Amino acid sequence: MQYAHITGWGKSVPPATLTNDDLATFMETTDEWIKTRTGISKRNISHVNTSEMASVAAKHALAAAGIDGSELDLIILATASPDTLIPNIASTVQANIGATCGAFDINAACSGFLYGVGLASSMIKSGQSKKILIIGAERLSFYLDWSRRETAVLFGDGAGAVVLEASDQPGGVLGYELNNDPEGRDILKSNFGTQMDRFDNDSLDFYIHINGQDVFKRAIHGMGSLSNKVLDSCGISIDDVDFVIPHQANERIIDTLVSRMKIPKEKAFVNIADYGNTSAATIPIAICDALSQGRIEANQTILSCAFGAGLTSAALLLKWGERTTPINTSDAALPPCDKTALELIKPAVDYFFNKAKNAE
């Protein structure tokens, strides 16, 4: 039997940082207001397309695994903010890393990365594939109406990736659960898509809508129920979980989730303060940060869970392997950015604030 192990990991975060104090220069908010409600201190704003961040993260993950892009059997890229819908941007990454395999995008919003890992692990266990690259990458700043505080303070840009490889060594992905709650699909959405009237200029004013209170309740229920389900299916007690990597949407959601599941808070990894919510990229970025901080150790049992628009939810249980350091490193990096984050978003800020003022 083949087991699916994470053997490589990498991230890519844009250099331009937008702090809470930066947001307070053009909207009614404060650093304290944002921190106490979300746990976020800053987020990154990308000056490049999603595929470029994804490609850099992928190169770091391949180097960490000690393999070349040509060795991959499949690329799965989770994103809700691709450069293009046609073609998929997994093909762009494929070209950038020299891969010659199948490649496709999936959109399960913030749960997308775990959806991808679950699918990849099943393909490895079935013998269909041996080496699969899974990427979570988002440029959510593209969707933001900066005059709407309820969403403008939440999201950031970035990418993370892992390599999943077949092994005879027991462990790796032990199990996963996926679910969707269609009754809640309208509480977190953007109207971008073919439903838009392409001949009406107002249709270009798409942005992320969110019902924060409803999302909060459904997120905790979705992640909690699936986490318990995957633990039950794997025959593992919550007490035997060494480390938890939850989706980084809101620190209050994470705190409530681990409290209800009776997980000690020190077992849960939280890095939302530095990135905001990067949707499908939050968990692979968190994996990279946890490894660099020594929080992930050899042979740990790790639980990861997520929720997102749809409303999707996912939970995954894995047994980490022996190695927690990369085999090789890559010098791949995003091109330099000659603008501040405030300068990058200024055209959108001006547009949406002027639109809001004219609507009064």
pLDDT at site 9? 98
pLDDT at site 228? 97
Tell me the C-alpha distance between 155 and 139, whole Å.
9
* Closest residue by Cα to residue 288 from 1, 13, 4: 13
Q: Report residue 155 as tokens.
A: 């999201």
Range list of β-strands (E), the chain:
3-12, 16-19, 42-45, 74-78, 102-106, 131-139, 157-167, 172-180, 188-190, 208-210, 243-246, 301-308, 312-319
Catalytic residue among 44, 49, 110, 288: 110
pLDDT at site 215? 87
Catalytic residue among 20, 247, 250, 288: 247
pLDDT at site 188? 86
139: which strand partners? Answer: 157
Tell me the C-alpha distance between 168 and 183, whole Å.
42
307: which strand partners? Answer: 313
pLDDT at site 94? 98
Catalytic residue among 60, 277, 288, 305: 277
pLDDT at site 160? 99
- Per the annotation, the verdict on 277 as an active-site residue is yes
- The packing angle between helices 31-38 and 251-260, to 10°, is 30
Q: How do beta strands 243-246 and 301-308 pair?
A: parallel
Measured distance between the N- and C-terminal CA atoms of the chain, rounded to whole angstroms: 65
pLDDT at site 194? 87
3-state secondary structure 35-58: HHHHCCCEEEECCCCHHHHHHHHH
Mind listing the pLDDT tens digit of every residue in the chain (360 residues)?
Answer: 899 999 999 999 999 999 999 999 999 999 999 999 999 999 999 999 999 999 999 999 999 999 999 999 999 999 999 999 999 999 999 999 999 999 999 999 999 999 999 999 999 999 999 999 999 999 999 999 999 999 999 999 999 999 999 999 999 999 999 999 988 888 888 888 888 888 887 777 788 888 878 888 899 999 999 999 999 999 999 999 999 999 999 999 999 999 999 999 999 999 999 999 999 999 999 999 999 999 999 999 999 999 999 899 999 999 999 999 999 999 999 999 999 999 999 999 999 998 877 776
pTM: 0.96
175: which strand partners? Answer: 317
CA of 242: how far to CAs of 35, 73, 268, 320, 326, in Å?
28, 31, 9, 10, 21
pLDDT at site 164? 98
pLDDT at site 308? 93
* Closest residue by Cα to residue 147 from 343, 356, 347, 341: 356
Q: What are phi and psi of 236, to 5 degrees?
A: -120, 135
pLDDT at site 360? 67
pLDDT at site 48? 98
